[in-house]
């Protein structure tokens, strides 16, 4: 992380999307530093668009995104995309991928200093990939690839981390590693925003939940937002919510198993 005070990420009156339509409309959010935020919604709801709009990778039709009321500084934001959008055939090693996270500091042309190499080695060690540093990225398993991209985000030392479905299609050990690292980064003062389909884990580990379906359906602590009403508004017919006394059981929606939701 940078030595400057951790920034507050703000989205104000944001409309974003391609062509004639809006993937997201009327978005007003404030992500304070030191919070772990889960972005939840069905496929095509705008989860990825929200993360990419923060980075400026999706056109803003209206509104703005700021860090503590200032224009976005990309050096302060690290991004881990979905694995499906990465070209895994590119002839580059795991170590070289992680080193790319230092480019905002050293540039893509200048040689890496010993401190940069040390940061890369430490990040690979932290995600359990030090022994595979020289392996071609495409030769790694899905979970290993995700660990490498997480290490790339770590060496950037950013204040804001955006992770697009980081736990999709990975093994249990990688899922636990990612969850632990997200919490550690949050505890160190970073803002961690991740898109997910896993309702149960999101409700258990996140400080804030952001439910999305073309708009912000609900945003706040799990105790206030993880309700049958919010789930119906977000997922519609994709979820089956079964009345069970003081709790509702949620089935479907792409999450793991069923979830008990307190009825409020």
Q: H-helix or E-strand containing 24?
A: strand 24-31
Task: Quote the number of domains for the chain.
Answer: 1
Percentages (nearest 5) of helix, strand, coil residues in the chain:
40, 30, 35
Q: What's the count of helices (H) and strands (E) in the chain, helices before strands?
A: 9, 13
Distance from CA of residue 144 to its chain's centroid? 17
CATH number of 39's domain:
3.40.50.300
Whether residue 2 is contained in a domain is answered as no
CA pair distance 86, 108, nearest whole angstrom:
19
CA pair distance 171, 167, nearest whole angstrom:
8
Strands 208-212 and 36-40, by their bridges, are parallel
Structural domain boundaries, residue 78: 9-262
* Non-local CB neighbours of 218 within 8 Å, separated by 6+ positions: 209, 210, 211, 224, 225, 230, 233, 234
- pTM value is 0.86
pLDDT in tens, the chain (264 residues): 545 677 899 999 999 987 667 789 999 999 999 999 999 999 989 999 999 999 988 888 789 999 988 988 888 899 999 887 788 888 899 999 999 998 877 766 667 888 999 999 999 999 999 999 999 999 999 999 999 999 999 999 999 999 999 998 888 999 999 999 999 999 999 999 999 988 988 999 999 999 999 999 999 999 999 999 999 999 986 565 555 445 444 555 554 444 555 554
Whether residue 178 is contained in a domain is answered as yes
Whether residue 1 is contained in a domain is answered as no
């Amino acid at each position: 992380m940078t030595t400057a005070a951790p920034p507050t990420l703000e989205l104000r009156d944001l409309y974003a999307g391609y062509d004639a339509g809006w993937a997201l409309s009327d978005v007003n959010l404030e992500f304070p530093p030191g919070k772990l935020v889960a972005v939840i919604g069905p496929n095509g709801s705008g989860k990825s668009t929200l993360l990419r709009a923060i980075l400026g990778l999706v056109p803003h039709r209206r509104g703005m995104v700021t860090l503590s009321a200032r224009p976005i500084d990309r050096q302060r934001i690290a991004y881990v995309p979905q694995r499906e959008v990465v070209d895994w055939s590119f002839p580059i090693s795991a170590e070289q991928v992680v080193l790319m996270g230092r480019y905002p500091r050293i540039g893509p042309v200048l040689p890496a200093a010993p401190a940069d190499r040390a940061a890369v080695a430490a990040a690979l060690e932290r995600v359990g990939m030090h022994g595979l540093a020289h392996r071609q990225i495409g030769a790694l398993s899905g979970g290993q690839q995700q660990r490498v991209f997480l290490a790339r985000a770590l060496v950037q030392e950013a204040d804001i981390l955006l992770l697009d479905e980081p736990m999709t299609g990975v093994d249990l050990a990688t899922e636990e590693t990612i969850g632990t690292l997200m919490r550690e980064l949050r505890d160190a003062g970073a803002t961690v925003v991740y898109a997910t389909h896993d309702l149960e884990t999101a409700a258990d580990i996140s400080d804030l939940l952001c439910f999305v379906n073309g708009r912000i359906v609900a945003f706040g602590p799990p105790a206030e937002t993880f309700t049958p009403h919010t789930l119906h508004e977000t997922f519609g017919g994709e979820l089956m919510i079964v009345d069970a006394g003081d709790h509702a059981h949620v089935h479907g929606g792409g999450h793991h198993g069923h979830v008990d939701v307190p009825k409020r």
